[in-house]
């Protein structure tokens, strides 16, 4: 099982990005409107500058005065853990677990092609387990 299989199962290939000059106030509006937990930070929608998540907002702005007017560039994570569409699904899960990240951008030859969340990974794994269970049940039943 590869990362591209998980991307394909998501259905939508649209990747949402946000400019580094946008304020946290605007970032929070976009996260709420899209019902997502993170956005890739990009000037052009293709070149990744970083990633910004709800956790970044909470962690980095709890003591900042006028936090909502702070720019995304000031709170984004720049040391971003990424994966490739050809990476094994288990490698994606290892990245999320070892680095304690919930969102992993997927880059194909440096081009942003998707973002996978911990929810996407869990859903995909549950589908795998259900399939295996059904196969074993069928085998045991003799069918």
pLDDT for residue 143: 60
Q: Tell the residue number behind the tokens 């795998």, with chain if given.
A: 128
Q: Rounded to whole angstroms, how far apart are CA atoms 3 and 113?
A: 11
Q: How many domains does the chain have?
A: 1
Q: How far is CA 61 from CA 23, 36, 74, in A?
A: 12, 19, 10
Provide the residue-wise pLDDT of the chain in tens; the chain has 143 residues: 889 888 888 877 788 999 999 999 999 999 999 999 999 999 988 789 999 999 999 888 777 777 778 899 999 999 999 999 999 999 999 999 999 999 999 999 989 999 999 999 998 888 888 877 878 888 888 76
Q: Rounded to whole angstroms, how far apart are CA atoms 140 and 99?
A: 40
Q: Rounded to whole angstroms, how far apart are CA atoms 90 and 129?
A: 14
- State phi, psi for 81 to the nearest 5 degrees: -80, 125
Beta-bridge mates of residue 105: 115
Q: Which tokens in the block code for residue 115?
A: 């973002």
CATH code of 7's domain: 3.10.580.10
Identify the domain containing residue 50 by its residue range: 3-140
pLDDT for residue 37: 94
């Amino acid at each position: 099982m590869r990362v591209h299989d998980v991307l394909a199962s998501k259905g939508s290939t649209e990747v949402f990005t946000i400019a580094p000059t946008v304020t946290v106030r605007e970032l929070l509006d976009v996260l709420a409107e899209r019902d997502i937990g993170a956005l890739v930070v990009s000037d052009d929608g293709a070149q990744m500058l970083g990633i910004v998540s709800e956790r970044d907002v909470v962690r980095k702005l709890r003591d900042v005065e006028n936090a909502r007017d702070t720019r995304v560039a000031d709170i984004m994570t720049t040391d971003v853990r990424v994966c490739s569409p050809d990476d094994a699904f288990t490698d994606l899960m290892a990245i999320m677990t070892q680095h304690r990240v919930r969102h992993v951008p997927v880059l194909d030859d440096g081009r942003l092609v998707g973002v996978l969340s911990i929810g996407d990974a869990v859903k995909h794994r549950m589908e795998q387990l259900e399939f295996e269970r059904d196969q074993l049940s069928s085998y045991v039943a003799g069918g």
